[in-house]
Amino acid sequence: MSATQAEAAVEPGSRASSRGNAAWLRNPDSRFWQTVRAVGMLALFFTVWGLAVRISHSDLFPTPGNVLRGIIELAQKGLLFKYIVASLFRVTWGFTLAVLIGVPVGLVLGWYSRLFQAFNPILQILRPISPIAWIPVAILWFGVSDAAPIFLIFLASVFPITVSAIAAVQNMQPVYLRAAQNFGLSRGELFRRVIFRASLPQIVTGIRIALGVAWLVVVAAEMIAVNSGLGYLIIDARNAGKRYDLVVAGMVMIGFIGLILDFLVRQLEKFDEVRWGYARR
């Protein structure tokens, strides 16, 4: 009893920290174990992948090591950065256009029910058409240029954004509207200060979904009609010498950049302007 007290008196800091260690080691939901689970499963995935390739004696399908060397090769040639920038450039344009058009159109259609009645059938017929199905049309209209994939990305992302903006306005709590009416807001102020602000959380969710779809589509769009970008890399590596290490390298890069894009849009959900709209955590 007195011995432990003496220990505690001599080294209180180390005692406290060793007790702390034990706590997060024992707690299965600590940050440490969460990381172990995620990293451990990734490591297992790559190991099984490598083993599977080796056991099957596949000549074409690469091991994780081959893919890593492929990525390094692309980086050394300067192609990796160039292709990533090319893909992001197209996504940025198509997606920005979709936001600039989808949000205002959605707000207006959500607010004016007669316009909604008129336009909703067109919207609902266009919406389920895969952007991939538009590829021949895009080539016809825009030729082999950046405009074709940008158009396809725009098509892919404008519908989720518009539809989420429409739903956001239609589901707005009537009490906000009545409060706004009470304060005598003009039509413009009503849109800017109340309808837009009340819809923002749902619009941000729509934007997040749309960016995911846009990134899916850029790859498909680049497989035709252009000669740069990660989608082009995949097709080109396949056609020019069956370089499947580069094919999978392209796939891995697409995955990582998609992850980063989603992480970035998710940051939008942390702003006070929209945080109220998500489930209490």
Identify which of residues 7 and 189 has a Cβ nearer to other proteins in the complex. 189
Identify which of residues 127 and 192 has a Cβ nearer to other proteins in the complex. 192
DSSP assigned state of 63: P
Identify which of residues 217 and 274 has a Cβ nearer to other proteins in the complex. 274
Q: What does R_g of the chain's alpha carbons equal in angstroms?
A: 26
- Angle between helix 230-239 and 244-268 (nearest 10): 170
Least CB distance to other proteins at residue 202 (A): 12
Least CB distance to other proteins at residue 109 (A): 22
Decide: is 249 part of the binding site for other proteins (CB under 8 A). no
Least CB distance to other proteins at residue 167 (A): 18
Identify which of residues 76 and 267 has a Cβ nearer to other proteins in the complex. 267
CA 273 – CA 200 distance, rounded (Å): 8
Pair 146, 88: CB distance under 8 Å = no
Pair 244, 183: CB distance under 8 Å = no
What end-to-end distance do the CA atoms of the chain give, in Å? 43
Pair 90, 232: CB distance under 8 Å = no
258 to 277, contacts with other proteins by CB under 8 A?
A: 272-277
94 to 133, contacts with other proteins by CB under 8 A?
A: none
Size of the site for other proteins (CB under 8 A): 20
Q: Which residue has the tokens 């903006």?
A: 165
User: Half-sphere exposure of 18 toward its Cβ, with a 13 Å CA cutoff?
Assistant: 7
Least CB distance to other proteins at residue 39 (A): 35
Least CB distance to other proteins at residue 267 (A): 17
What mask, x for binding other proteins by CB under 8 A, covers residues 167 to 206?
Answer: ------x-xx-xx-xxxx---------x--xx-x------
Least CB distance to other proteins at residue 171 (A): 14
Range list of H helices, the chain: 2-10, 12-26, 31-56, 64-77, 79-111, 113-126, 135-142, 147-170, 174-182, 187-189, 196-222, 230-239, 244-268, 272-275
What mask, x for binding other proteins by CB under 8 A, covers residues 199 to 238?
Answer: -x--------------------------------------
- Residue numbers at the binding site for other proteins (CB under 8 A): 173, 175-176, 178-179, 181-184, 194, 197-198, 200, 272-277, 280
